[in-house]
Amino acid sequence: MVGTGHTDSSAFDVVLVPLDVTYKVVFVPTSPHIGPQLARLRRRRALTQDELAASAVVSVDVVRRLEQGKRTSARLSTLDSLARALGCTTADLLALDQKEGASGGGPRVEEIRHALTTPEVLGLIEPVEEEPVCLEELRGQMQRVWALYQDGFYAQVALRLPEVLAQARLLGRESVGDEQVEAEGLLATAYQAAAGVTITLGHPDLSFLAVERALNAARFSGSELHHASAVNFLSWVYRRSGRLSDAEHVATRAAEAIEPPWSGASSSHLAVFGSLLVNAAGAAARTKHVNRCRDLTSIARSAAERVGSDHVDRWAVFGPGVVAMTAVNDAVELDDLDTARRFIDQVPTVEGVPSSWRARYLLNVALTHTRHRNYQQAIEALAEAHRVASEWARYHPQSRVTAQILLERGYGRKAPNLVDIAQHDA
């Protein structure tokens, strides 16, 4: 399959074809407030339009037209360059409200929906000539999006994903050989991020569509790690959708297919294998299959010992700390809170694990302490979860459940933010 020229597929053979200037998805629609915001930030830095353009290495006409509201789209690389020159984030430049962007039905989700379902993506319009970004630039864009996704900054991910998806498709279509293979792999990763954001924000149908396309892109990349990673996302989407038997089945089958030798395997290979087992164990825990959950976790723990330290890349998040944290999560799912409390004491100091992973564990720590009536420790763990991954934690249902329990126990005065957490409608 490698080098076939295929760039995307689900039920159809699909290609990316920009429709018109408005919907060229290599450009990002800007906020209606960007003109005044850009001018305000530029003046705060005491820069003229020419000086800002020179510092950002963009055309002064772009700056002028954005400030005047005559331009309604821009490349993300252009917005990033302007933000760096202004000493702010791209979100600041776009006046992006993280709370609004994190909401389930928000416009950023609609932009992902558009990127996944436009007629041009389904191959209904012939491709037009478009200059793709270089592989190095695409790799950098995907690395940034993936880090934002893993840390739970979903509004930022949704902002950036449409362009990354478009450029990955385009580069896969226009390139050959190893460059095409890597572009397909990057496309698979981008689709996995889309699946992760949409299932978290309550859009399972979009998530299944995205993960199906991730599987197809992974197949055409020819990489077993990309394919196994995409299956891992499928397993997680099944779990979030309540299809626990399917979640466990696809994860264990994929783990069997890529089981590495216990000596000489790469960290990435071991990490994907172990991550599949962790996902399968989580599904077994939710169906109350205690022994199967423990067996799967035991094998994952052995793989983690081989990896040596927590490993994070675009294929998996895995290692001793991850296994220890997810063992706590699974004990909570099994309603075995005595075991959960014992496991909490065994979790090592975790460094380098993405914020959303740590926050998920901290929510289970908070719930465990709440059930054991260690209310102050529960409040501290809940607060820490919201500190390390505030956007992610805001709409996780367990966060609200724990906050509501603590409020019922009369801890609202000691922790005023509990009311906001308990009332948040994800």
**Banded pLDDT at 369 (limits 50, 70, 90):** very high
Q: Which two tokens stand for residue 353?
A: 């694990």
pLDDT tens-digit readout, 41-95: 888 888 899 999 999 898 898 898 888 887 756 666 788 788 888 888 776 776 6
Q: Are 313 and 150 in contact (CB under 8 A)?
A: no
Residue at token pair 């067996």: 295
Are 59 and 53 in contact by the 8 Å Cβ rule? The answer is yes
pLDDT at 2 over 50: no
Q: How far apart (Å, rounded) are the C-alpha atoms in residues 69 and 34?
A: 8
User: What whole-number distance in Å separates Cα of residue 215 and Cα of residue 289?
Assistant: 28
pLDDT of residue 69: 80
Q: Are 166 and 25 in contact (CB under 8 A)?
A: yes
Query: Which pLDDT value is given to residue 393?
Result: 87
Query: Which residue ranges make up each domain of the chain?
Result: 1-23+98-222, 32-95, 227-332, 354-426
pLDDT the model gives residue 191: 96
- Out of 1-5, 250-254, 355-359, 378-382, least confident range: 1-5
Q: Residue 407 — very low, low, confident or very high, per pLDDT cuts 50/70/90?
A: confident
Tell me the CATH number of domain 32-95, given options 3.40.50.10900, 3.40.630.10, 1.10.260.40, 1.10.1740.110: 1.10.260.40
Q: Supply the pLDDT for residue 155.
A: 85
The distance between the two most distant Cα atoms of the chain, rounded to a whole number of Å, is 67
Residue 258 · residue 228 · CB < 8 Å: yes
CA distances from 77 to 27, 72, 180, 307, 390 (A): 9, 15, 22, 35, 26
| Between residues 60 and 98, the one the model is more confident about | 60
Residue 184's nearest CA partner among 230, 131, 147, 145 is 230
Residue 127 has pLDDT above 60, yes or no: no
* pTM for this entry: 0.77
Tell me the pLDDT band of 300, cut-offs 50, 70 and 90. Answer: very high
Residue 74 — φ and ψ, nearest 5°? -160, 150
Distances (CA, A) of 168 to 194, 317, 390: 14, 23, 30
Topology of the domain comprising 227-332: 1.25.40
Confidence band of 408 (pLDDT split at 50, 70, 90) = confident
On the question of pLDDT at 333 being above 80, the answer is: yes
220: number of Cβ within 10 Å: 27
Please say whether the beta carbons of 185 and 226 come within 8 A: yes
For the segment 12-33, what is each residue's pLDDT rounded down to a tens digit?
222 333 333 333 334 555 555 6
Task: Give CA–CA dist 81/355, Å, rounded.
Answer: 26
pLDDT the model gives residue 15? 30
